[in-house]
Amino acid sequence: MRIAVVAPLAAGSSFAHAINSVKMAEGFARLGHDVEIVCRTSETGSVAPELLRDQYGLRSAVGWLQLPYDVGDQRAFTFRAVARVLRTAADFVYARHYRAPLWTSRFRVPTVVETHAHPDNRARAYLRMMRGTRHRSFRAVVTISRVLADHYVGLGVPPEKLLVLPDAVDVELFRRPSVLPPSPLRGEGPHVVYAGHLYDYKGIPTVLEAARKMPQVRFHFVGGWPDDVARQQSRAAALGLENVEFYGLVSHGEVPPFLWHADLLLLPPSQHHPSARWTSPLKLGEYLASETPVLVTDIPALRAWVTDEHVWWVPPDDAQRLAERITEVLGEKEAKRRRVQAARELAERFSYRERARRVLQAAMPSRSDTGASYAMPSRSGKAA
């Protein structure tokens, strides 16, 4: 089947939505489909497919159509993207866009959109798209939380067209190899690693406060835009920290060794941000697949996808308790082995291949493969 993944991401982007879109394309390709990503060039022009392959850690062939970056006018991007879909006679469209899926469904191309739009989003194109999901060829809306799904029903999405799936993981990329490559971590351990953006609501200030209480442990921050890295480095300097390392942005394909060589991985979102009710971080699946112990803050969104069987929990926004829990987890042995094994098994169910399969089962049941699927969250947020 010929599949078009339509998303106005800039080729090479490190934003989570860009990684998700590219990896979903590869998930469809791993199911044996012919896939093309319809996106934009980078600000400096087209990016060679081999560079994109390395940056995103792609192992399956996907095509790229990079429309000119100056199509910042979403209507222009929509026109060109839809024209490409029709010209190539795509059998199915998977979109991270508000306008294109309306038109592809109207042209009777089976269409699915993924959106993580927050409840306060009042953009006209977004609201129009939600109403347009009633069209017969608009097969499904994929999102990451039952909280968001319930909100979308209020905007006009038929409940039977909603599919709630966590963000996925490229298991082949993040699975721990039998022989590890050299460690990219600096300094002496034990090593505690956070991989992701360095926004304050991700819990970074709390981690830095915990680091101040644990001078014997080295904390590593992998990722972050330059301005965010500079801000958190300044905060670390003000706290007098000598046990923290910042690596800045690295390509998606370069992240796994940082996780494999860690003694503990942190996922510390704050409870004081609305997304604590619905976030599904990309790094959760990546952490689970790496076979490294994972410590996460106890927020509703994460409780929807993992349990005590897979991770350790810590109250959010509490540096003292975070320091204590890090010490406790680093000291455990038998519990580590059990949870790491359970986490690895769960990561297999969170793979992009299985996520893509689940989407096609819902949208194109007569043309998709069968196989394992997710345990869907109930309206209470628990895994069903």
SS (H, E, C) 9-66: EECCCCCHHHHHHHHHHHHHHHCCCEEEEEEECECCECCCHHHHHHHHCCCCCCEEEE
Contact (CB, 8 A) for 118 and 279: no
Per-residue pLDDT reduced to its tens digit, 95-150: 999 999 999 999 999 999 999 999 999 999 999 999 999 999 999 999 999 999 99
Q: What is the CATH number of domain 2-168+351-363?
A: 3.40.50.2000
Nearest to 350 by CA among 265, 290, 262: 290
Domain ranges of the chain: 2-168+351-363, 171-347
151: three-class secondary structure by DSSP: helix
pLDDT band at 72 (very low <50, low <70, confident <90, very high): low
The per-residue pLDDT for range 2-33, each reduced to its tens digit, is: 999 999 999 999 898 999 999 999 999 999 99
pLDDT at residue 28, rounded to an integer:
97
Look at residue 102 in the predicted model and tell me its pLDDT: 95
How does pLDDT run across 327-368, given as a tens digit for each residue? 999 998 888 889 999 999 999 989 999 999 999 999 988 765
Q: What is the mean pLDDT of residues 150-177?
A: 95
Mean per-residue pLDDT, 254-269: 97
The reply to whether 171-347 shares the fold of 2-168+351-363 is: yes
Sign, CA dihedral 232-234-237-238, equals negative
Average pLDDT, the chain: 92
Residue 280's pLDDT band, with cuts at 50, 70 and 90, is confident
Q: What's the mean pLDDT in 157-178? A: 95
Residues whose CB is less than 8 angstroms from the CB of residue 337 and which lie 6 or more positions away in sequence, other chains included: none
Q: What is the pLDDT of residue 384?
A: 31
Whether the pLDDT of residue 239 is over 80: the answer is yes
> What percentage of the chain has pLDDT greater than the value 90?
86
What is the distance between the alpha carbons of residues 268 and 314, in angstroms, rounded to a whole number? 8
pLDDT at 150: 96
Evaluate if residue 180 carries a pLDDT over 60. yes
Looking at CATH, the fold of the domain delimited by 171-347 is given as Rossmann fold (3.40.50)
State the pLDDT at residue 373. Answer: 38
What percentage of residues in the chain have a pLDDT greater than 70? 94
Residue 245 has pLDDT above 50, yes or no: yes
The SS3 call for residue 264 is: strand
The C-alpha atoms of residue 73 and residue 335 are separated, in whole angstroms, by 53
- pLDDT at residue 372 tops 50: no
